[in-house]
């Protein structure tokens, strides 16, 4: 039996029956940049929808790569590698259009689910553009749009007795070390800990600051602060921003003043380190060490996803800081979206194929059906 206003609440949040498991893969191909066009860059090897569809394919790139793939077909003497995902956004898709397909997932965080949205892809493929966007209103990315949507929905749900407490944490993981992007003091060491009790959310970061927020502008100010801190750190280490993961966490504690119902959840919005391979980026020395670490943590992420999909008795969450931090948000009780960003240039074609093959593997993973944990007082 539905509780007070439950039906309306569900309508508001657009809660629908999940048809598939709780992992989705969306792919977004960015447009050619002016600079790339000037340099004669081409994206003719990519067949994709202009706005949105479900598939894309790559034609006629270096055959040595294609011969390693099982899924190519010959047509007119050309080799075509087809890929399909839950959604493919072509190079004329807008931030607004992408968000329209992400909004429902974001809202489910208000319904008590832990949600993870990852931007995956090689450096320059559009991860930060997709997650953060620019300062212009119509180019806002998923993070600001999500925050706006959450505040709007919180207000709407208020008339059903729901009261929300929202707070933000923002952390960067660089070479397996966590840094608080919202900490003004220096020298505070962070470490990931777990609470023994079998609570839904048992992972926490000791020393990480948490900032209660009551409106969008407060979050915007925090995001600016975090970006400044990242930029400062980046001047001390080459390419740090492309070799680190940025994890923005919006923590939601919901209480219903009419029914006593309570739940808490986290919306994790993650800009991953570049997925480029070490050998091809020509790294050496310390840069190689960094790149290996990052490749390491990205492959740990895929190990965790496939262990969850296989229902393995041991899921190697603790093998990397990223997966350990997200342990509560990657399990069967949460929803995950892998947003795969693609650089459209022919020069990047080999990396693009690597990226799309990785995405295909993730797409086959069915982690389970998300359930929310509802606590009654």
Chain residues that interact with ligand ADP, rule: CB under 6 A: 30-31, 33, 121, 123-129, 242, 341
| Burial classification of residue 168, based on how many CB atoms lie within 10 Å of its CB (0-12 exposed, 13-18 middle, 19 or more buried) | buried
- Out of ligand ADP, Mg ion, none, which partner does residue 33 contact, by CB within 5 to 8 A per kind? ligand ADP
- Out of ligand ADP, Mg ion, none, which partner does residue 124 contact, by CB within 5 to 8 A per kind? ligand ADP
- Out of ligand ADP, Mg ion, none, which partner does residue 126 contact, by CB within 5 to 8 A per kind? ligand ADP
Minimum distance from CB of 348 to ligand ADP (Å)?
11
Minimum distance from CB of 242 to ligand ADP (Å)?
6
Minimum distance from CB of 121 to Mg ion (Å)?
9
123 labelled ligand-binding = yes
Q: Which residue, 243 or 293, is less far from ligand ADP as judged by CB?
A: 243
Minimum distance from CB of 250 to ligand ADP (Å)?
20
> What is the distance between the alpha carbons of residues 92 and 87, in angstroms, rounded to a whole number?
14
114-133 as b/e, with b when 16 or more CB fall inside 10 Å?
Answer: bbbbbbbbbbbbbbbbbbbb
126 labelled ligand-binding = yes
- Asked if 29 and 52 touch (Cβ cutoff 8 Å), the reply is no
Q: What does the block give as tokens for 244? A: 């680190």
- Out of ligand ADP, Mg ion, none, which partner does residue 121 contact, by CB within 5 to 8 A per kind? ligand ADP
**DSSP character at residue 30:** P
> What is the distance between the alpha carbons of residues 215 and 356, in angstroms, rounded to a whole number?
37
> What is the distance between the alpha carbons of residues 28 and 339, in angstroms, rounded to a whole number?
7
Give me the 115-134 binding string for Mg ion, x by CB under 5 A, dash otherwise. ------------xx------
Q: In degrees, to the nearest 5, what angle opens at C-alpha 278 toward C-alphas 240 and 348?
A: 90
Q: Which DSSP string do the residues of 105-149 spell out, in sequence order?
A: HHHTTTTT-EEEEEEE-STTSSHHHHHTB-SSGGGB-HHHHHHHH
124 labelled ligand-binding = yes
Q: Which residue, 115 or 270, is less far from ligand ADP as judged by CB?
A: 270
- Asked if 297 and 273 touch (Cβ cutoff 8 Å), the reply is yes
122 labelled ligand-binding = yes
Q: Which residue, 170 or 200, is less far from Mg ion as judged by CB?
A: 170
Q: Which residue, 256 or 341, is less far from Mg ion as judged by CB?
A: 341
Among residues 269, 267, 227, which one has the least CA distance to residue 119? 269
- Out of ligand ADP, Mg ion, none, which partner does residue 133 contact, by CB within 5 to 8 A per kind? none
Q: Which residue, 128 or 256, is less far from ligand ADP as judged by CB?
A: 128
Listed in order, strand segments (DSSP E) in the chain are 23-29, 46-47, 52-59, 73-75, 78-89, 114-120, 162-174, 177-180, 191-194, 203-206, 211-213, 244-256, 261-271, 334-342, 375-376
Among residues 185, 191, 176, 212, which one has the least CA distance to residue 320? 176
- Asked if 126 and 287 touch (Cβ cutoff 8 Å), the reply is no
Q: What does the block give as tokens for 127? A: 């991860």
* Of residues 317-376, those binding Mg ion (CB under 5 A): none
Nearest residue relative to ligand ADP (C-beta): 126
Minimum distance from CB of 63 to ligand ADP (Å)?
28
Q: Which residue, 170 or 200, is less far from ligand ADP as judged by CB?
A: 170
128 labelled ligand-binding = yes
Q: Which residue, 94 or 369, is less far from ligand ADP as judged by CB?
A: 94
345 labelled ligand-binding = no
Q: What does the block give as tokens for 179? A: 């840094």
Q: Which residue, 129 or 162, is less far from ligand ADP as judged by CB?
A: 129
- Out of ligand ADP, Mg ion, none, which partner does residue 90 contact, by CB within 5 to 8 A per kind? none
Minimum distance from CB of 184 to ligand ADP (Å)?
26
Residues that bind Mg ion (CB under 5 A): 127-128
Residues belonging to the binding site for ATP are 121-128
Residues belonging to the binding site are 121-128
């Amino acid at each position: 039996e539905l509780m007070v206003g439950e039906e309306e609440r569900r309508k508001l949040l657009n809660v629908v029956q999940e048809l598939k498991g709780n992992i989705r893969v969306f792919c977004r191909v960015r447009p050619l940049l002016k600079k790339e066009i000037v340099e004669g860059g081409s994206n003719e090897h990519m067949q994709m929808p202009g706005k949105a569809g479900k598939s894309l394919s790559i034609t006629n790139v270096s055959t040595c790569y294609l011969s390693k793939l099982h899924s190519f077909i010959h047509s007119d003497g050309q080799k075509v590698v087809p890929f399909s995902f839950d959604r493919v956004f072509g190079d004329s898709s807008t931030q607004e259009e992408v968000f329209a397909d992400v909004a429902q997932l974001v809202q489910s965080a208000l319904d008590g689910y832990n949600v993870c949205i990852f931007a995956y892809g090689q450096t320059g493929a559009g991860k930060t553009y997709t997650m953060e966007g620019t300062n212009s209103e119509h180019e806002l990315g998923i993070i600001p749009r999500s925050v706006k949507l959450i505040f709007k929905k919180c207000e709407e749900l208020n008339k059903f007795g729901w009261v929300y407490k929202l707070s933000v944490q923002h952390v960067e993981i660089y070479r397996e070390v966590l840094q608080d992007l919202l900490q003004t003091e220096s020298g505070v060491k962070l470490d990931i800990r777990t609470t023994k009790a079998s609570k839904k959310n048992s992972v926490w970061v000791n020393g990480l600051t948490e900032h209660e927020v009551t409106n969008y502008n407060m979050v915007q100010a925090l995001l600016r602060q975090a970006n400044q801190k990242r930029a400062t750190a980046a001047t001390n280490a080459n390419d740090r921003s492309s070799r680190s993961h940025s994890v923005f966490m919006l923590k939601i504690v919901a209480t219903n003043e009419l029914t006593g119902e309570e739940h808490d959840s986290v919306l994790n919005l993650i800009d991953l380190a570049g997925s480029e391979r070490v050998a091809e980026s020509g790294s050496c020395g310390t840069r190689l060490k960094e790149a290996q670490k990052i490749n390491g943590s990205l492959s740990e992420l895929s190990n965790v996803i496939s262990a969850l999909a296989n229902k393995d008795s041991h899921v190697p969450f603790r093998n990397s800081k990223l997966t350990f931090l997200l342990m509560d948000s990657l399990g069967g009780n949460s929803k995950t979206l892998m947003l795969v960003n693609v650089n459209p240039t022919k020069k990047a074609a080999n990396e693009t194929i690597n990226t799309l093959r990785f995405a295909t593997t993730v797409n086959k993973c069915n982690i389970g059906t998300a359930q929310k944990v509802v606590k009654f007082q």
